[in-house]
A and B are shown apart, each in its own frame.
Chain A
Amino acid sequence: MNQDLNLAGSVSTPAIQSDWQAGRLCMQGDSYPENSYELFGPVIGWVEAYLAQESRPLELCLELVYLNTSSVKVMMDIFDLLEEAYQGGRRVEVVWHYDARNDRIAELAEEFKEDCSYPFVIRAMEVAP
């Protein structure tokens, strides 16, 4: 499968773009979907397929703000997939951008990072007011 995802975000779902060619998956916004399996199933599927079919690096760039519990679980699942690939010698990286005015997000991103041994960057982003 190398069909890329390009989902416009909504009030309760993040915008999601995948780029198989570039080896990049990006998500931005709030995430409290009614059905997180339906929303994130294809995302997990994309990551699994990319990691299985390619040997190139994978970069995950996130600008997530609010996550409900099921979305937190999905993110942990994705980070676990990356950890497994990294342990198998793959180059993977996560960059999590957050609004510099909201450093609580950075603290939560730090918590996600805890068990990840691959590069996981948490970067403040200056946003025009």
Chain B
Amino acid sequence: MNQRERELLEEVADLLAIEEYRGHRLHSALQRLYRRHLAQQERLERLVTIADGFQKGAQQDLQETRQQLERQHRRQHKLSRIADGFQDLLHERNQALRDVSRQDPLTGLANRRCLHERLEGLTVGTARQSGTLSLVMLDIDHFKAVNDRHGHVTGDRVLVTLAKHLMGSLRQHDMCGRWGGEEFLLVLPETPLDKAHLLVQRLTDQLRGLRIPADGDTLSVFITASAGIAEWQPGEGYQATIERADRALLAAKRQGRDRCCLAEA
């Protein structure tokens, strides 16, 4: 209610209170109008209060809903973050398993499974680019005798030493894996037979100088190796190249060991 309204109501109330107007015909009509106005005014105020209450309630609800939404949002965010973390973990675990399943546990070299995978891809690539590829099957001479005489610990040490030596002497794109037992397979991309021959000769020469401690370091074991080399032929499956290298290795063994033989195409 503003000032003017209040003044008007006061004026009307004053007029109604004057004794001499009581008998006037307009007095009773004005008085009824005045009371009706007051009643209406009260109703209006109640209405406003109720409406305000509803609005306030609605606002509180909105606020709560907002907070709830925010909480859920945070929770969802946290859930995805943690779930992603576990996903990464699983991925790493798979990767580690994959690595382990492709590696020879003793020497850390590629195992036979890994060699097969690599050769599969490599022969396809070599064929496409009309490149060359040589495979070397290398076997430690009289390895069984080393095991029998000095024990398996020394035998394992021989294998590890040879593996390290091979890895250290190969070129960047060459690959070396443990084919099984004391047999190693060297994969030499972009290498024709004659170059592979030189490389293997140098390698086996160095091998003779390797001193491997045995029997509690009281003596040293020296090793030699025999090797068979085959150059992959266009149209040939890598398995066939490996077989030819293997036959050349057998020939080297038969010719007295500590040498390398070349497979015929």
Contact = CB atoms under 8 A, between A and B. Distances in A.
A72 B153 CA distance: 47
Interface stretch (B46-54, B85-93, B201-209, B215-223): B85-93
B82 interface: yes
B81 interface: yes
Contacts of A111: 78, 81-82, 85
B90 A72 contact: no
Contacts of B80: 69
Contacts, number: 38
Interface in A87-129: 104-105, 107-108, 111-112, 114-115
A104 B89 contact: yes
B17 interface: no
Nearest to A65: B89
Interface in B217-259: none
Q: B interface, how many residues as a size bin?
A: 10 to 19
B83 interface: yes
Interface residues of A, number: 15
The B contact surface, by secondary structure, is helix
A66 B89 contact: yes
A67 interface: yes
A28 B82 CA distance: 18
A68 B92 CA distance: 15
A5 interface: no
Contacts of A112: 82
Given A66-B89, A66-B90, A108 B82 contact: yes
Contacts of A68: 83, 86
Given A68-B83, A72-B86, A114-B78, 11 more contacts: A67-B83, A69-B79, A76-B75, A76-B78, A104-B85, A104-B88, A105-B89, A108-B85, A108-B86, A111-B78, A111-B85
29 contacts: A66-B86, A66-B89, A66-B90, A67-B82, A67-B83, A67-B86, A68-B83, A68-B86, A69-B79, A69-B83, A72-B79, A72-B82, A72-B86, A76-B75, A76-B82, A104-B85, A104-B88, A104-B89, A104-B92, A105-B89, A107-B85, A108-B82, A108-B85, A108-B86, A108-B89, A111-B78, A111-B81, A114-B78, A115-B78
